[in-house]
Structure 1
């Protein structure tokens, strides 16, 4: 008999929550200041359209991503919105002392009570040279992530709950800040299950590992004071427009971004092109298909159908939508189409 908890096989898009992953893109010809203005604009629209949470991701030494000081940008977005949850997707914990993350997110939770999420990853979020610049003598390669996580979680508990201590996270101690584990493989899936924490999987760039990781999470799940049953969120790239042709054109910015990454040539997000055929080799096209294979590109009808197919496949409890689109207005329209798609009556 399977140890996997029972899941609802009849989920509809209206049955789950949808959220936003913002990689705070710096576009060609733009600045980080422009990116932060656009992030706040998108968050305000996402709140109005009914999205559940708005997460920003920690990346370093990336010319096309502005959210390296992730907790600062979270504060900027939370200050400009009213009710949407705001958090990290994620903080790369091995880059930081757990005490500092507890203090930062304790500060955010104190400023915006009941609205802050702390999503944690164990990758560096950058290249090895930059990881060394971030970590210096700590020699952390992510293998001590479970110990770092335990230390961080203890800082949020009261001193009495952990038997007394000399070092306190102020603010932070005694605050209830939801912690999520993020992953693109099985390590964090199993750890999240064992600890009874919610789990977010990076399907938007690791589609082949999605189902094995979700299965591992659900089979590993042990009820905790946080959750009595598994809660899994999946990331998905959605590039939507009023026509299929326009959506495919807009998606070439995302494709160029990944193409430059596999060429080890990160640059700002590039404007869309009519065709990628002159830009990639057959090998590169195949490599991108492997990484971006779960991306949903199309008009509202296609997006609705493909999102439902993805939900049928993953049985996710929540989906987090990413859209690397060059033009801000087109990006807003893409998220608006998703909002309309998931609220449509069946």
Structure 2
């Protein structure tokens, strides 16, 4: 049996198009993904990004679940720093009530990371240089520091806009515990029992997403939850993340660890076409890493007109070098290397192209090569 493949979608807005069209494309892609045999379809939560339309994640999950029949649908991930445990459980409890047994609740700590970064002091001296390495055939690039980005005025403004005035995000582990208690019906505040309706008893699968060996991996392991590690966001730390999760694992919701690992990929009938379709990716990542936020995804012609600087290349090298681009057999082989090097039980693929038909074809070619049905 082939390792399950799943999809992470940001509902990308492309140049010359609109968020409304991006949302229609997401629903269409989810239907095609179900037909192609993908296991689950996750929507990423992003805010204030002109190139991403998946900000109201729970609403979009409902639309996708209503337009499909079997595929699991969920969040990759809810940013807990911006919501209360009660609001999350009520939203996903509502989704489960309408689409029972198909909803995944992926949780992330992005909001907490922004709050922590605001109070972080810069290191007394620069960290030692780390060289790229290859582990069991998998490229592990030097780490990228997100601290300057998290400390930028744009991120501070976003955090302020996403929270009530004066609010401080609670500890991530505590919030995860509250979510699990609300679902289990054991939640109480100041010795007063409170019950989420809908939400209590919901048949949602709770996940933790993480990019490092830090709190997310530890919380997932200690609570016996499945863990999703982000090779596509932080390829330098994926091995440490999955190792930390497995080391911390105690039976809970699961009897054994379950690891999902993500990757960026673009598949086309031949490598040349795939490279052309992937050409705008670097500029899209550059906008994110320079604090502008994801901008509308450019066409290959628009991207190829850009003159790259050495600073651009250094900023994006880890993401460009770890994007899987090529013909179906080549991308499938790189995904197998990723699976084997990380011990992943499942892989999560995210693909962005300017033309929706090219994105659909990329996923369909990969599904056929992988042996999905």
Q: Quick check: 1:52 aligned with 2:39?
A: yes
**Aligned-pair distance for 1:319?**
0.4
DSSP-derived class of the 1:127 partner: helix
The list of structure 1 runs, each at least 4 consecutive aligned residues, that deviate by more than 6 angstroms after superposition, is 160-164
How far does residue 176 in structure 1 lie from its aligned partner after superposition?
A: 2.4
Relative to structure 1, the CA distance from residue 114 to residue 164 in structure 2 (aligned partners, 3 Å threshold; closer, same or farther) is farther
Residues 110-119 or 244-253, more deviating:
244-253
For 1:172, which of 184, 195, 199 is the aligned residue? 199
Residue matched to 2:23: 36
CA RMSD of aligned residues (A): 2.2
Gaps of 5+ in 1: 1-13
CA–CA distance in structure 2, aligned partners of residues 256 and 144 of structure 1: 34
Gaps of 5+ in 2: 115-153
Q: In the alignment, which residue of structure 2 is the partner of 1:77?
A: 64
Q: How far is 1:160 from its partner?
A: 9.0
Q: C-alpha distance in 2, partners of 1:128/1:292? A: 27
Alpha-carbon distance between aligned partners in 1 of 2:313 and 2:191, rounded to the nearest angstrom: 56
2:283–2:303 Cα contact (<8 Å) kept: no
Aligned to 1:105: 92
Kindly state the Cα deviation for residue 167 of structure 1 after the two structures are TM-superposed. 2.3
Match of 2:73 in 1: 86
State the partner residue of 1:215: 243
Residue 149 (structure 1) aligns with: 176
Structure 2 residue aligned with 1:298: 326
Structure 1 pair 138/89, CA: closer, same or farther in 2 (3 Å)?
A: farther
> Which residue in the other structure is 2:335 paired with?
307
TM-score, structure 2 length as denominator? 0.84
Per the TM alignment, residue 261 of structure 1 is displaced from its structure 2 partner at its CA by 1.7
Deviation per residue, 1:113-154 (Å, 9 max, x gap): 00000000010398221111111335435x611111111111
**Aligned match of 2:351 in 305, 308, 323?**
323
In structure 1, what is the Cα distance between the partners aligned to 2:251 and 2:338?
26
Structure-2 change in CA distance of 1:202 and 1:107 (3 Å):
same
Which residue of 2 is the match for residue 197 of structure 1?
225
Kept in 2, the 8 Å contact 1:205–1:292? The answer is no
Query: 318-327 or 155-164: which moved more?
Result: 155-164
SS of the residue corresponding to residue 308 of structure 2 reads: coil
Match of 1:181 among 186, 208, 214: 208
Q: Which of 38, 50, 56 does residue 63 from structure 1 map onto?
A: 50
- Deviation string 1:308-343 (CA, Å, 9 cap, x unpaired) is 121221110000000011100000010011101211
How many matched pairs?
330
1:7 corresponds to which residue? none
- 1:17 equivalent in structure 2: 4
Question: How far, CA to CA, are the matches of 1:250 and 1:127 in structure 2?
Answer: 30
CA contact (8 A) 2:325 2:331 kept: yes
**1:280 and 1:239 mapped to 2: Cα distance?**
21
Aligned to 2:299: 271
**Contact 2:2–2:370, Cα closer than 8 Å, also in 1:** no
1:276 offset after TM fit, Å? Answer: 5.2
What is the match of residue 140 of structure 1?
168
Deviates more, 1:159-168 or 1:307-316: 159-168
